[in-house]
């Protein structure tokens, strides 16, 4: 039986609650002899700060580097509002992304038919929606330097973040998007703001060149990022794959996520390059939702995004696409039965807890194996 080393970072807020449901599923697969998942656990975010005074320890960075894949819950919360900027919970997640060069963030937005009425848009606009947002994750405004606040000495300060992209960064994320599109509906929408940003001018040029050189068979269109936000809520089914930078991707993926009814539904994969020697790639899987401190510890969180992230892990890191399909089918089955956590309750008469939802998915999975 194949064996996989998972490094699990539950993090803060609802992170540990939703992660516990994934651990049950991994244990079930191991018990069934389907695949062996060896789970090591670490701390990230506020949890790491409370234990070690940093947002992720050197030891956990090493263990993350050595794992076959990383699963992360969520980071952050008001408890750590006063923590020094470099030690804030988010810094741990950003360091994992940057140091492991997880440049490609895949955020699928799929609207399960059973949930179409939980969306804030009309059913006909989102029923059957299946798009993939590809967000560049290790460059742009998140990491460019200078990144600082300087005192101008006249009672004024200046805050600066730097948006910067080099050709190779745009090319490698573009390649991920075009390759994904080939396995889907063969269309890529590239988003930037070349009308006001130099990095956008370069982004567009590089994507056009790459398309001409290697992917002329894929349909390519360009949208300004603001217009893309508008189109996402106007006619979301026009999109197959969207490729965009780190900041625009952060914003547009929250919009795309909400189309599906709830942020609690959306998984994501953050992938590095494939190592030519080993054929392996570094990868981290996390839900798109955050730590939701307002509902943490109450058993209200929806574990589906976290479970779906584990599904992406099976598919993209371990080549277990069929098992990933079974997870997705189990989720769809549970939703079709009308089971709902509070976030997707809509007009349903009642809702179930995190653990009940996790158990329901596990039971549906058990029935399919």
**Interaction of residue 179 with ligand IPM, rule CB under 6 A:** no
Contacts of 168 (CB under 8 A, 6+ apart): none
Using CA atoms, how far apart are residues 122 and 132, in angstroms rounded to an integer?
20
Ranges within 270-329 binding ligand IPM (CB under 6 A) = 290
Smaller CB separation from ligand IPM, 291 or 333: 291
Size of the site for ligand IPM (CB under 6 A): 6
Smaller CB separation from ligand IPM, 55 or 333: 55
> Smallest gap, in angstroms, from Cβ of residue 76 to ligand IPM?
6
**Interaction of residue 250 with Mn ion, rule CB under 5 A:** yes
Half-sphere CA count of 355, side-chain side, radius 13 A: 3
Give the residue at shortest CB distance from ligand IPM: 90
How far does Cα 2 stand from its chain's mean position?
26
Smaller CB separation from ligand IPM, 60 or 250: 250
The neighbour count for residue 27, using CB atoms within 10 Å, is 13
**Interaction of residue 245 with ligand IPM, rule CB under 6 A:** no
Sole binder of ligand IPM in the list 16, 250, 256, 324 (CB under 6 A): 250
Smaller CB separation from ligand IPM, 223 or 268: 268
CB contact burial 209-245 (16+ within 10 A = b; e otherwise): ebbeeebeebebebbbbeebbebbeeebeebbbbbbb
The neighbour count for residue 158, using CB atoms within 10 Å, is 9
Using CA atoms, how far apart are residues 260 and 289, in angstroms rounded to an integer?
13
The neighbour count for residue 294, using CB atoms within 10 Å, is 11
> Smallest gap, in angstroms, from Cβ of residue 242 to ligand IPM?
15
Q: Which residues pair with 285 in a beta bridge?
A: 71, 269
Residues 44-83: x where in contact with ligand IPM by CB under 6 A, - otherwise, as a string: -------------------------------xx-------
**Interaction of residue 169 with Mn ion, rule CB under 5 A:** no
Known catalytic residues are 142, 193, 226, 250, 254
Residues lying near ligand IPM in the complex (CB under 6 A)? 75-76, 90, 93, 250, 290
Q: Which positions touch Mn ion (CB under 5 A)?
A: 250
């Amino acid at each position: 039986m194949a064996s996989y080393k998972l490094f699990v970072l539950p993090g803060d807020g609802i992170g540990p609650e939703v992660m516990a449901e994934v651990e049950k599923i991994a244990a079930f697969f191991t018990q069934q002899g389907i695949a062996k998942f060896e789970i090591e656990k670490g701390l990230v975010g506020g949890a790491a700060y409370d234990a070690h005074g940093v947002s992720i320890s050197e030891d956990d960075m090493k263990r993350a580097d050595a794992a076959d894949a990383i699963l992360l819950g969520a980071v952050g919360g008001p408890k750590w509002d006063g923590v020094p900027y470099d030690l804030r919970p988010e810094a741990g997640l950003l360091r994992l992304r940057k140091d492991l060069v997880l440049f490609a963030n895949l955020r699928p937005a799929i609207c399960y038919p059973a949930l179409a009425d939980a969306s804030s848009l009309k059913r006909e606009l989102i029923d059957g929606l299946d798009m993939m947002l590809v967000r560049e994750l290790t460059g742009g405004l998140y990491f460019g330097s200078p990144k600082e606040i300087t005192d101008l000495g006249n009672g004024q300060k200046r805050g600066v973040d730097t948006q910067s992209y080099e050709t190779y960064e745009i090319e490698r994320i573009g390649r991920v998007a075009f390759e994904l599109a080939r396995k889907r509906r063969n269309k890529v929408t590239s988003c930037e703001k070349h009308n006001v940003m130099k990095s956008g001018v370069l982004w567009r040029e590089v994507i056009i060149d790459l398309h001409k050189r290697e992917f002329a068979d894929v349909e390519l269109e360009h949208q300004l990022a603001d217009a893309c936000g508008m189109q996402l809520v106007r006619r979301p089914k026009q999109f197959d794959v969207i490729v965009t930078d780190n900041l625009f991707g952060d914003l547009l993926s929250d919009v795309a996520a909400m189309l599906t009814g709830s942020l609690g539904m959306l998984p994501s994969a953050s992938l590095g390059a494939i190592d030519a020697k080993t054929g392996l790639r570094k990868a981290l899987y996390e839900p798109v939702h955050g730590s939701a401190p307002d509902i943490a510890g109450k058993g209200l969180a929806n574990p589906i995004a976290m479970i779906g992230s584990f599904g992406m892990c099976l598919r993209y890191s371990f080549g277990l696409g069929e098992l990933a399909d079974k997870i997705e089918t189990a989720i769809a089955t549970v939703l079709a039965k009308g089971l709902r956590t509070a976030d997707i309750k809509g007009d349903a008469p009642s809702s179930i807890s995190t653990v009940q939802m996790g158990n329901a998915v596990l039971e549906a999975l058990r029935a399919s194996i």
